[in-house]
Chains A and B, each alone.
Chain A
Amino acid sequence: AQSVTQLGSHVSVSEGALVLLRCNYSSSVPPYLFWYVQYPNQGLQLLLKYTSAATLVKGINGFEAEFKKSETSFHLTKPSAHMSDAAEYFCAVSGPGPSHKLIFGSGTRLLVRP
């Protein structure tokens, strides 16, 4: 069985500040992990994915995430927030390989203050 917990339904940061969105997972098989972003009135867009290669994964728009097996975490970070980063962010887990379905967390809404 697999599950994802995203801590904090809302995170608010000032423009230029560090962004940290937390994700913890549970998986009975080696996990693949994903971060997706959803802008208002749009579908989800892949930010980055971890597939058992490098534990530090770089994605689009300056975001990165680090897979920490000992902590069962896959937190998303960005050194400096931009107003355009305001969106809903979803963490997801699946089993290894293309045949496994994704399990999504409940999402974290990122607010960026001027």
Chain B
Amino acid sequence: EADIYQTPRYLVIGTGKKITLECSQTMGHDKMYWYQQDPGMELHLIHYSYGVNSTEKGDLSSESTVSRIRTEHFPLTLESARPSHTSQYLCASSDSGAGANVLTFGAGSRLTVL
């Protein structure tokens, strides 16, 4: 079954720790995205990739970094977590077929930094 997977779903971690949020999709989509979502606020695009070895920063500045070594995998890393990084992070993917850019979302990773 084609889908997009995020791990961990929930993470509570102390300040200064390095964390990696994993995102994998089985649909063969060439485009992948990371959104940050705070309660009661819109989703903000923080990173996107249009293919292997291609990554761009999104509209919202983020201290996180991403990599795209394989088509199906788009991990997000925070080298030193801080309480301000507490948020929900949503991964999404889409293909480059004709028509609208329809995103398929993962279930999200909720990060709490103490």
Please give the residue numbers on chain A whose beta carbons come within 8 Å of chain B beta carbons, in ascending order: 4, 9, 32, 34, 36, 41-46, 49, 51, 90, 94, 97-102, 104-107
Contact = CB atoms under 8 A, between A and B. Distances in A.
B39 to A, nearest CB: 9
Contact of A94 (B9, B33, B100, B108): B100
A49 B96 contact: no
A94 B101 contact: yes
Contacts of A105: 42
19 contacts: A34-B100, A34-B102, A41-B108, A43-B105, A44-B43, A45-B105, A46-B103, A49-B102, A51-B100, A94-B101, A97-B100, A97-B101, A98-B94, A98-B96, A98-B98, A99-B96, A102-B45, A104-B42, A105-B42
Contacts of B100: 32, 34, 49, 51, 94, 97-98
